[in-house]
């Protein structure tokens, strides 16, 4: 069975698993299960097949205590990492050197996997609110809203525009009653994260932030913004001087300020970076979130591979985002050659001397050099003096000349 994980042949693996003699959790000489091999190889189809046949996602019989989640995180495959988490992988298990899966991924530079692990939220925890509890006659969250809300919770892109776009993807959420129930559940989850035995400040802050975004959507609906388009434009609108999105900045700062648990260490750490969005993202997803990556100018999605054809500076993840951003970007958009010329004009340049100024500089230099030479001749005629005195009296060309023989002598 282990050999099948090396070849990645899903069809042959399925035939083997159909046999009663094959154990899905069999171990090799290093204590690795087939699921561990498949996770490290990055074979998503094989991982899915093994999980369907009951593979133990938390098996830690490996000689160094590694789990399938650790191997998935080390491989850098975010989809497989999410698959392990959905299957019930525990994030707190440590290996023989006391490192969790997230810490191992961070050590080898797989920061996307770190973000996935740190932002994971079990669907079962949300579905708890889709069932009436105690004397309730109806659940706090309608079951039909659990899926869309869980998608918003699981997103690693904290840009408010992206979150509003996620709300727009599900028409059932563009409703005052639905948004009210969703943000109330977010507030309950935030309180739960703070008051549980092992307080999870990161998750609490994220739940609070999502609640603020949903409340903003609700307020926009009350202003007859039925499709939330006006809210998106407000979040994107930049100031005339440099295009900086002031409203978005103020909104995120207000979200952070309204966090109800002032004693949280995470809240006290916010405030070091220029923008509230960058501070919030780095605090919740890790300090490497903005390294070596292009981000969409509209929704902040990582890995934006499209550029404005005119200025070549603004980056987007889709044509939709470019259209949404154009109303404010057009104020700052310049052809690439014009932008280069502006940068060159603003760059500091050496002062060009006029012809008479250049002659004056040369005459002054010659005069100082002649003055130093005459001083040396007088000192030599008087019997000489230590080299240090020559250096002090003649700080220009003669000092450098006096140093040269000493350098040659040392060599």
How many CA atoms does the CB half-sphere of 309 hold within 13 Å?
A: 2
Low-confidence spans in the chain with pLDDT less than 50: 271-273, 289-290, 350-351, 353, 384-411
Q: Are 300 and 159 within 8 A, CB to CB?
A: yes
Phi and psi (nearest 5°) for 110? Answer: -90, 70
Using CA atoms, how far apart are residues 78 and 154, in angstroms rounded to an integer?
13
CA distances (Å), origin 132, targets 128, 139, 152, 177, 195: 9, 4, 23, 17, 22
**pTM flag (> 0.85):** no
**Residue 292 has what pLDDT?**
54
C-alpha 119: how far from chain center: 12
Residue where the block lists tokens 């699921």: 35
**Residue 287 has what pLDDT?**
54
150 C-beta neighbours (distance < 10 Å), count: 16
Phi and psi (nearest 5°) for 365? Answer: -65, -45
Which stretches does DSSP call E strand in 338-385? none
Q: Are 316 and 298 within 8 A, CB to CB?
A: yes
Tens-digit pLDDT profile for residues 301-360: 888 889 998 888 899 999 999 999 999 998 888 887 776 666 566 555 544 545 555 555
**Residue 286 has what pLDDT?**
64
Ordered structural domains, the chain, with CATH: 2-118 (1.25.40.20), 123-291 (no CATH), 376-411 (no CATH)
DSSP 91: S
**Residue 361 has what pLDDT?**
58
Which residue from 322, 298, 299, 300 is spatially nearest to 309, judged by alpha carbons?
Answer: 322
CA distances (Å), origin 259, targets 3, 204, 211, 405: 52, 9, 11, 71
Q: Are 55 and 46 within 8 A, CB to CB?
A: no
Range 243-258 burial, b when 16+ CB lie within 10 A, else e:
bebebbeebbbebbee
Range 317-342 burial, b when 16+ CB lie within 10 A, else e:
beeebbebbbebbeebbeeeeebeee
**Residue 344 has what pLDDT?**
64
The CA-CA-CA angle for residues 226, 146, 53, to 5°, reads 145
């Amino acid at each position: 069975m282990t050999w099948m994980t090396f070849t990645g042949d899903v069809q042959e693996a399925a035939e083997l698993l159909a046999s009663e003699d094959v154990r899905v959790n069999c171990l090799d000489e290093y204590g690795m299960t087939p699921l561990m091999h498949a996770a490290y190889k990055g074979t998503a189809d094989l991982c899915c097949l093994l999980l369907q046949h009951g593979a133990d996602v938390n098996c830690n019989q490996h000689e160094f205590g590694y789990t399938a989640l650790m191997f998935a995180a080390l491989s850098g495959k975010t989809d497989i990492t999410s698959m392990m988490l959905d299957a019930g992988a525990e994030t707190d298990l440590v290996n023989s050197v006391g490192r969790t899966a997230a810490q191992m991924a961070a050590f080898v530079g797989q920061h996307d996997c770190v973000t996935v692990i740190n932002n994971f939220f079990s669907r079962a925890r949300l579905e708890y609110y889709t069932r009436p509890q105690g004397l309730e006659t109806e659940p706090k969250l309608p079951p039909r809203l659990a899926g869309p809300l869980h998608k918003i919770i699981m997103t690693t892109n904290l840009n408010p525009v992206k979150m509003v776009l996620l709300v727009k993807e599900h028409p059932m959420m563009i409703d005052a009653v639905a948004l009210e129930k969703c943000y109330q559940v977010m507030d309950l989850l935030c309180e739960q994260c703070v008051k549980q035995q092992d307080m999870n400040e990161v998750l609490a802050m994220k739940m609070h932030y999502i609640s603020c975004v949903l409340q903003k959507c609700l307020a926009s609906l009350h202003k007859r913004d039925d499709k939330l388009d006006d809210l998106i434009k407000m979040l994107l609108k930049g100031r005339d001087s440099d295009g900086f999105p002031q409203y978005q900045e103020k909104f995120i700062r207000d979200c952070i300020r309204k966090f109800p648990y002032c004693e949280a260490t995470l809240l006290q750490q916010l405030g070091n970076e220029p923008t509230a969005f960058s501070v919030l993202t780095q605090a919740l997803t890790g300090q490497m979130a903005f390294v070596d990556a292009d981000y969409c100018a509209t929704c902040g999605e990582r890995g934006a591979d499209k550029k404005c054809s005119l200025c070549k500076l603004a980056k987007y993840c889709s044509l939709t985002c470019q259209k949404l951003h154009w109303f404010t970007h057009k104020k700052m958009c310049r052809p690439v050659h014009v932008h280069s010329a502006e940068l060159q004009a603003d760059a500091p340049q050496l002062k060009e001397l006029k012809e008479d100024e250049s002659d004056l500089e040369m005459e002054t230099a010659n005069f100082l050099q002649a003055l130093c030479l005459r001083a040396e001749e007088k000192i030599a005629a008087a019997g000489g003096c230590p080299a240090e005195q020559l250096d002090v009296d003649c700080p220009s060309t003669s000092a450098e000349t006096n140093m040269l023989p000493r350098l040659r002598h040392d060599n």
